[in-house]
Amino acid sequence: MVVNFGNWNKPPHHAPDFSKKKKTDKANMDLQATKQRFEIIGNSPGLNRAIEVAIQVAPTDLSVLITGESGVGKEIFPQIIHQFSSRKHGKYIAVNCGAIPEGTIDSELFGHEKGSFTGALADRKGYFQEADGGTIFLDEIGELPLSTQVRLLRVLETGEFIKVGSSKMIKTNVRVIAATNVNLLKAIDEGKFREDLYYRLNTVPITILPLRERAEDTILLFRKFARDFAEKYRMPPVRLSDDARSALVNYRWPGNIRQLKNITEQISIIEQEREITGEVLRHYLPVEGNQNLPALFNRAQENQSFSNEREILYKVLFDMKKDMTDLKKLVLDLMENRDAPISGDQARIIKNLYNADNAPFAASETVHNPIHISHVEKEHIQDTEEFVEESLSLADKEIELIQKALGKHRGKRKYAAQELGISERTLYRKIKEYDIKG
């Protein structure tokens, strides 16, 4: 009998793979530890997946593009990537590209030489030079001007840039993480974003789901915010009734986590009762159809607003023209029939031209013509109709609407930009371009 001892050390085919289980347990431990460290609340699969990708890509130097709606917490993920990378001891600089005026953004990012432009009184290092050896987070990357996008692409491809007003090439070793709440593929089709830059940034994409797609996390977030505000304002935390929980979960949250935090703070301060019912909660939830969040800029909506304004002006002008035509016809009729009584139609025209409530007679009254014109012949009457042509200049319309928005909001540019449906940076540029005062 031959006994084969060669397979004695091999595990049976049905033995469990303990190494795989250990990797899974370690990944779960890393995930929970990361949530605690960065105070991330939620257990939805989409959120967990985004955190796992951030941890996995951190040890590399790959560029990362984070996408998601305004208010979902995109700014946390660049910090996770930086802290889990070999650059964690280097600088971490976060730059909001949408908050920097177009005329100065190149100087902010890449620096400038003394005298390169008005106000450049000394040499200045840009963020890319300051962050050498570290990480730079470019938030609202979709707001970058095309000229700046070209400079950024060169940095990503070669690690080189030139200061404004200089001819000297500077090397930098920076990891770039970008974020946006706009559809960059659509922006590429519209010629607002470079396709080569998009694919260079989008080496590793991370998508942060909106709050409406992780409804199971809404209750956890509300409890966290309620405890935080209770501690801050030294009062008992608010809690939700069953119908309030249902209302909270079913609401779409167009402003995402930022909106939920804001409403939780309002309720914590204003409400005397600590248990919040569904009826009370609904008073704090805006009607979704009336939401006008400014975080998403839509050029079509801006053009539509100009179109609506033009239609209103046309209507006013046509109404004025009709009134002048009616007045001219009335005067001619009265001249031809000086002694005839005023008809109902004529009285109606007069009442429309003057305030109807203050007219000296009713439309149904019949009075003799009080107008006496002497020594004037009909053919000597000149046509006094004047057509006021509307200016079709978009620049004039932009100036007019910007001035109206600034006046309505007492010069507060943030709210004026929201009213106009444009970003605050775009409004700032328009104010400088048109030299609008106030």
Please identify, among 190, 209, 228, the residue that sits at the C-terminal boundary of a domain: 209
| Domain annotation covers residue 407 | yes
Domain of residue 41, CATH code: 3.40.50.300
| Domain annotation covers residue 139 | yes
Please identify, among 166, 194, 209, the residue that sits at the C-terminal boundary of a domain: 209
191 and 217 in a common domain: no
46 and 171 in a common domain: yes
69 and 39 in a common domain: yes
63 and 137 in a common domain: yes
Number of domains in the chain: 4
Distances from the Cα of 36 to the Cα of 31, 32, 41, 57, angstroms: 9, 6, 8, 20
| Domain annotation covers residue 8 | no
Instruction: Name which of 303, 246, 313 is nearest 279 in CA terms.
Output: 246
139 and 245 in a common domain: no
Domain of residue 274, CATH code: 1.10.8.60
Instruction: Name which of 242, 239, 247 is nearest 273 in CA terms.
Output: 239
| Domain annotation covers residue 422 | yes
231 and 193 in a common domain: no
| Domain annotation covers residue 296 | no
Domain of residue 407, CATH code: 1.10.10
| Domain annotation covers residue 25 | no
Domain that includes residue 346, residue range:
301-371
Instruction: Name which of 209, 206, 210 is nearest 65 in CA terms.
Output: 206
268 and 308 in a common domain: no
The type of residue at 332 is L
63 and 183 in a common domain: yes
Sorted by sequence, the CB contacts under 8 Å of residue 353 that are 6+ apart come out as: 323, 326, 327
Full pLDDT tens readout for the chain, 438 residues? 444 544 545 555 555 565 666 667 777 888 999 999 999 999 999 999 999 999 999 999 999 999 999 999 999 999 999 999 999 999 999 999 999 998 899 999 999 999 888 888 899 999 999 999 999 999 999 999 999 999 999 999 999 999 999 999 999 999 999 999 999 999 999 999 999 999 999 999 999 999 999 999 999 999 999 999 999 999 999 999 999 999 999 999 999 999 999 999 999 999 999 999 999 999 999 876 544 444 444 544 545 554 556 666 666 666 777 777 777 777 667 666 655 666 666 666 665 655 544 444 444 444 444 444 444 444 444 544 454 555 667 777 788 888 888 888 888 888 888 888 888 888 888 888 888 876
Helix (H) or strand (E) holding 279: helix 278-284
- Which DSSP string corresponds to 36-80? HHHT-----HHHHHHHHHHHHHTTS---EEEE--TTS-TTHHHHH
pLDDT at 295: 44
228 and 179 in a common domain: no
| Domain annotation covers residue 385 | no
pLDDT at 389: 55
In whole angstroms, give the CA distance from residue 341 to residue 339: 7
Helix (H) or strand (E) holding 158: helix 146-158
pLDDT at 23: 66
| Domain annotation covers residue 240 | yes
219 and 200 in a common domain: no
Please identify, among 247, 270, 290, the residue that sits at the C-terminal boundary of a domain: 290
363 and 330 in a common domain: yes
148 and 279 in a common domain: no
